[in-house]
Amino acid sequence: MSLTKRYFGSDGIRGKAHEPPITPEFIYALGVAFATALEPQQGRRILVARDTRSSGEMIEASLAKGMSDAGFEVCLAGILPSPAVGWKVAVDSDYIAGCSITASHNPPEYNGVKFFLAEGNKPDDAFELAVESGIGTRFKRHGGHRGRVTRVSDCETHYSEFCRSSLPEGMNLDGLHLVVDCANGAGYRVVPAIFEALGARVECLGVSPNGHNINLQCGAGQHELLVDSVVSSRADLGIAIDGDGDRVLLVSQNGVVLDGDDLLFMIAVDQLQRGVFKGGIVGTPMTNTGLVKALAKRGIPFERVQVGDRYVQAELRKRGWQLGGENSGHIFCLQHSPVCDAVISGLQAILAWLNSRIQLAEWKKEWQPWVQRLINLPFPVVQSVGLPRLIDTANRLSSGFKENARIMVRPSGTEPVIRVLIEAEDCKQLADCTDEWFAGLKAETGQDILSEYK
């Protein structure tokens, strides 16, 4: 994340609703600035959708007014997963851009806006800086046009048809018993309908949104209920998405959870065996090193970029590769969709499982993950130590671990914390690595500031 940006994080702008910057006044100014930064070619239509948060309608109204005042036609799609917005913008030339009003996997009190440009691309740093510089400045209507706000009702149907078409022709999910957890979020209607239309018998969780329960004890971020439901109902598998529908995980019949790294591996191996794999895989510093080594054994190149699905997307396009993602469950399958899509990647993982003819849980044994520990340090604690000192110490120690362990320190792009990832080949090396890092910080600061996080 660029240090010169004030509002944009790793994926759009978010914060607590009704607190700066997520206020009606700021969102209106953001709408104006975003629309003004666009360079229309064939049209002036912007697609806007939202998740189920109670603050969504307030943001929708303010954002739409700002963009329409700037001279654009704003088309409101209502509640719709974020990937559906990115896909629609990519395939429908009537739209110049799209906005998804969501705070993704964050709790209900948060909200924000994600943006999509031509071909479903996420904005780059330069575009985000241009938007920020335009917030609160005077503007002229584009081409002198008066904007307007309309509603569209066909996006959900078109998105469902698109997702179903991502499976090979003639293939369906007939006979499969699935538990589908929609996180009380944007996919609560369309996602179960997609799996049912493919022939699966679907039990649903997280499909009763009330504006205040998105991501609470449900969805890809909190999967305990899904695990219990899959095991107790003896379903063939479970699938969970997050609040806006771009993260996914699977649960096996006996309750084993497969995260984004597992699903990337499954999809890559299946594509390799079917002769359709292209190039390599793009991941992030959060990608498990065990996965990188397992891919290398199969001759699959791997490239890390900084955390954020827009960086993964940009690198894939740059290299002409198709598959990439994060262990959080953000997965790109560019041969099917231009954006991170929980349904598309979930279907591709299910396809890999069905093609393999082995138990879903057995995929966990196909590669050996390194042991990881993730520590979230609140900003006040970090300020007392100093972020540069945290990073420098981590880098110095990592260089001495050779290839047996690593420490990665980064600011979260979605929460007010600093994330520390410590990773090693086994538990003993992880403990040693952790001890060395904390000891190094204590030696430099003269204080045992972080002891409670050890």
The CATH code of the domain that includes 121 is 3.40.120.10
Active site includes 104? yes
Task: Tell me: do 58 and 171 sit in the same domain.
Answer: no
Task: Tell me: do 109 and 137 sit in the same domain.
Answer: yes
Residue 438: CATH number of its domain: 3.30.310.50
What is the residue whose two structure tokens read 């649903």? Answer: 204
Q: Which residues contact 357 (CB under 8 A, 6 or more apart)?
A: none
Residue of 239, 243, 246, 223 whose CA lies nearest to 330: 246
Task: Tell me: do 149 and 168 sit in the same domain.
Answer: no
Inter-residue long-range contacts of 433-436, CB under 8 Å, 24+ positions, other chains counted: 433/397, 433/401, 433/405, 433/407, 434/373, 436/397
Query: Which of 345, 365, 385 corresponds to the end of one domain?
Result: 365
Task: Tell me: do 361 and 375 sit in the same domain.
Answer: no
> HSE-up of 425 (CA within 13 Å, CB side)?
5
Q: What is the reported pLDDT for 402?
A: 64
428, part of any domain: yes
Task: Tell me: do 35 and 133 sit in the same domain.
Answer: yes
Q: What would the two tokens of residue 262 be? A: 């597992």
Map 329-349 to HEC letters: CEEEECCCCCCCCHHHHHHHH
Phi, psi (rounded to 5 degrees) for 399: -65, -25
Task: Tell me: do 79 and 26 sit in the same domain.
Answer: yes
Task: Tell me: do 192 and 266 sit in the same domain.
Answer: no
337, part of any domain: yes
Task: Tell me: do 20 and 149 sit in the same domain.
Answer: yes
DSSP secondary structure, 217-243, as one string: T-STT--HHHHHHHHHHT-SEEEEE-T
Q: What is the DSSP letter of 143?
A: G
Tens of pLDDT, residue by residue over 250-289, are 999 999 999 999 999 999 999 999 999 999 999 998 899 9
Q: What is the reported pLDDT for 2?
A: 42
385, part of any domain: yes
What is the residue whose two structure tokens read 């093609």? Answer: 355
Residue of 91, 138, 148 whose CA lies nearest to 337: 91
Q: What is the reported pLDDT for 452?
A: 67
Task: Tell me: do 36 and 139 sit in the same domain.
Answer: yes
Task: Tell me: do 36 and 144 sit in the same domain.
Answer: yes
DSSP secondary structure, 176-230, as one string: -EEEEE-TTSTTTTHHHHHHHHTT-EEEEES----SS-TTTT-STT--HHHHHHH
Helix (H) or strand (E) holding 317: helix 309-319
Can you tell me the distance from the alpha carbon of 294 to that of 334, in angstroms, rounded to the nearest whole number? 22
Query: Which of 104, 119, 153 corresponds to the end of one domain?
Result: 153
8, part of any domain: no
Phi, psi (rounded to 5 degrees) for 252: -75, 170
By three-state DSSP, how is residue 275 classified?
A: coil
252, part of any domain: no
Query: Which of 135, 153, 171 corresponds to the end of one domain?
Result: 153
286: containing domain? 258-365
Sheet with 148-151: list strands edge to edge.
Answer: 13-16, 110-116, 95-101, 45-50, 73-79, 148-151
Query: Which is the catalytic residue, given 10, 55, 68, 104?
Result: 104
246, part of any domain: no
Please list the ranges in the chain whose pLDDT falls under 50. 1-3
Task: Please give the tally of structural domains in the chain.
Answer: 4
Residue of 81, 78, 115, 101 whose CA lies nearest to 22: 101
Helix (H) or strand (E) holding 284: none
Q: What is the reported pLDDT for 20?
A: 95
Q: What is the reported pLDDT for 308?
A: 86
5, part of any domain: no
Inter-residue long-range contacts of 126-131, CB under 8 Å, 24+ positions, other chains counted: 127/37, 128/2, 128/5, 128/8, 129/2, 129/4, 129/5, 130/37, 131/8, 131/30, 131/33, 131/34, 131/37
Task: Tell me: do 357 and 382 sit in the same domain.
Answer: no
Pairing of strands 148-151, 73-79: parallel
165, part of any domain: yes
Task: Tell me: do 285 and 163 sit in the same domain.
Answer: no
